[in-house]
């Protein structure tokens, strides 16, 4: 026979609420621009209001676009091989309002994540994954992988 007291029910309820809050928190990283923490995300197309900043990965301006996509203002390309990020982790600066595309190719399956914009993309091994978004939030945002927990770069939006 199970006997529960009001105090035991309260403790159980608080424990269940705490577990639920932790599960809903996702990766639990702070998107405060003053705090940089790594977090990966899957490849996806971001809403037009998303913003991101990245360190020294290859960034190029693209004046024109293909027929199926809008012109991308900033293309950032990163490669991951044997847990090494190329170009090495750093900061990439973009202007507020630019259309940004981040393309990552990893030698192992993973997930790309852009903090602050809460964007992600799947990274099948050896196949590029991308996120594209409008950098509409200013600040410092980490771009990382979830499984390998690698910081790819920090995106600075000014």
140 neighbors 156 (Cβ within 8 angstroms): yes
Q: How is the chain split into domains, by residue range? A: 6-157
- Which CATH code of 2.120.10.30, 3.90.650.10, 3.40.640.10, 2.60.40.420 fits the domain covering 6-157? 2.60.40.420
pLDDT, tens digit, 9 for 90 and up, residues 2-37: 455 555 554 444 444 443 443 334 444 444 433 333
pTM confidence score: 0.59
From first to last of its 158 residues, what are the pLDDT tens digits of the chain?
A: 445 555 555 444 444 444 344 333 444 444 443 333 333 333 344 444 444 444 445 454 433 333 445 689 999 999 999 999 999 999 999 999 999 999 999 999 999 999 999 999 999 999 999 999 999 999 999 999 999 999 999 999 99
Query: What is the residue whose two structure tokens read 């928190």?
Result: 25
Q: State phi, psi for 8 to the nearest 5 degrees.
A: -65, -40
């Amino acid at each position: 026979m199970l006997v529960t007291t009001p105090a035991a029910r309260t403790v159980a309820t608080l424990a269940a609420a705490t577990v639920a809050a932790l599960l809903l928190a996702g990766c639990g990283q702070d998107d405060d621009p003053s705090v940089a923490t790594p977090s990966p995300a899957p490849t996806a197309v971001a809403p037009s209001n998303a913003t991101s900043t990245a360190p020294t990965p290859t960034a190029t301006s693209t004046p024109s676009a293909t027929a199926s996509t809008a012109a991308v203002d900033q293309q950032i390309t990163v490669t991951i091989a044997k847990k090494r990020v190329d170009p090495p982790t750093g900061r990439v600066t973009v202007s507020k309002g630019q259309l940004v595309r981040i393309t990552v190719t990893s030698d192992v399956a993973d997930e790309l994540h852009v903090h602050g914009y809460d964007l992600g993309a799947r990274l099948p091994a050896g196949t590029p994954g991308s996120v594209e978004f409008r950098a509409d939030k200013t600040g410092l945002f980490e771009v990382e992988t979830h499984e390998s927990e690698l910081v790819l770069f920090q995106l600075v939006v000014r």
